Amino acid sequence: MTRSTPTQLRILWLTENYYPNKGGMAQSCDRIVHHLRADGVLVDVVHFTNHLTKTKVVSVQNGKNIAFAMHPDVSHSLNLVWSFIENYNQELAQAQSPAITHLVAFGGQVPMLAAPIFAAWLRLPYVVLLRGNDFDTGIFSPKRQEILKNALLNAAHICVVSKDKMDKIKGLFSQARVSHIANGIDLNEWQLLASDKKKAQEWRNTHVTQVSTRKVWGMFGHLKSKKGVLFFLEALKLSGKLPQVHLLIIGDMTEAVAKFLEANTDILHYTHYPFMERYALLPYYAACDLVAIPSYYDGLPNVMMEAGGLGMPFIAAKAGGMGDFLEEGVHGHLFHPGNLDQCREAINQMFTLSADELQKMGANCKQMVQTQLNHHDETANYRQMFENTLSLQKKASDD
């Protein structure tokens, strides 16, 4: 009996979030694609972007990066995208290159709209890689809900980064195939250099020398309303600990947060920098005593992996993936999202910790990231999911 040769995986990846876009979703997209390609999977990324006037195609190892210039009329743009994909599919066949085996919808409304249709026309399975923001905003949006529901109901598979999303999707659509694949990070590439530690110490010497006992608490990323920043600042003020903290805030913040900071300059010490690329953040992470992630709702924030991987303890809401991996008293102090009393208590608890206890929590965070949130597992789990989806598709066709 002759054993069949495994099919070469080739994924057509539809996204609104990819380099050079900023933010956690673009970062996650870039990371997953990079590691799948390094693992031998062919990935052709179609990036729907408003930053170009002409579509740009760049060949890279194990795939292509296709930055597709979007027209203000989405329906017009997607008809053009389909023409491009149809032609590209024919070119692959003529060149006897590996054929497309899957479509992926990752990040944004347009991929969710396009993937079910393109996949049906190509007679291929599609997978939805659902991040926290797409579900949390889409499910309650009158305009987006039907697009999200259609994408989830017809997907061959759905992957989420937090267990609460898996439960919510199964509660709504019991027939959906959903699995939890956590984000991962490569700690061989993400570590502090001597120069980062030096910059961190110089920053502290400049900003917190006035009061030697003042703690540096960091808040990083796109600090949208869902991130609970204003809620956390109000809890910090009510706790009476605001004067004992120097807030290091890096990222875009809401007008309400800016007004709070301005209104409390008499008791509040803070430094704010605009959004930075992730490697530029290293010395600022190192300058912190802990990192705060007070989200009302979330997926699995890259900040949790990045800070935890550097040995930073947390004060955090048990939202999304943070509730999956962070343990109370082990990795920091936690509170139910939006619970003001619990948040104040968590803040007060952090101030009871000695330097050794804080360092121990940081070490626990680093070990958790190393063992549970590494990029090897993330890549292997995605690859296995794609292979399983293809096998089920072939079995259904044979039947």
pLDDT of residue 5: 52
Residue 2, pLDDT above cutoff 70: no
Q: How does pLDDT run across 181-193, given as a tens digit for each residue?
A: 999 999 999 999 9
Average pLDDT value over all residues in the chain: 93
> Of all residues in the chain, what percent carry a pLDDT higher than 70?
96
10-184+375-398: CATH topology is: Rossmann fold (3.40.50)
What are the residue boundaries of the structural domains of the chain, listed by start? 10-184+375-398, 194-372
Crossing angle of helices 24-38 and 375-398, in 10° steps, is 70
Residue 211, pLDDT above cutoff 70: no
pLDDT of residue 232: 97
Give me the long-range contacts of 385-388 (CB less than 8 A, separation at least 24).
Answer: 385/127, 385/157, 385/159, 385/179, 385/181, 386/9, 386/11, 386/41, 386/101, 386/102, 386/127, 387/6, 387/9, 388/157
Over residues 89-102, the mean pLDDT reads 95
Over residues 264-273, the mean pLDDT reads 93
pLDDT of residue 1: 36
Peptide bond into 337 cis (omega under 30): no
For residue 198, what pLDDT band results from cuts at 50, 70 and 90? Answer: very high
Residue 174, pLDDT above cutoff 60: yes
Over residues 292-304, the mean pLDDT reads 95
State the pairing for strand pair 126-130/157-160.
Answer: parallel
- Eight-class DSSP state of 29: H
pLDDT of residue 3: 41
pLDDT of residue 132: 74
Q: How does pLDDT run across 49-72, given as a tens digit for each residue?
A: 998 889 999 999 999 999 999 989
pLDDT of residue 24: 86
Whose CA is closest to 282, among 317, 237, 312?
Answer: 312
Over residues 126-155, the mean pLDDT reads 92
Cα 343 from chain centroid (whole Å): 24
Over residues 393-399, the mean pLDDT reads 70
State the CATH architecture for 194-372.
3-Layer(aba) Sandwich (3.40)
Measure the CA–CA gap between 134 and 1, rounded to whole angstroms: 47
pLDDT of residue 399: 60
pLDDT of residue 398: 67
pLDDT of residue 378: 97
Whose CA is closest to 385, among 115, 5, 11?
Answer: 11
Measure the CA–CA gap between 22 and 93, rounded to whole angstroms: 35
Four-residue CA torsion sign, 231, 232, 236, 237: negative
Fold agreement (10-184+375-398, 194-372) = yes
pLDDT of residue 212: 62
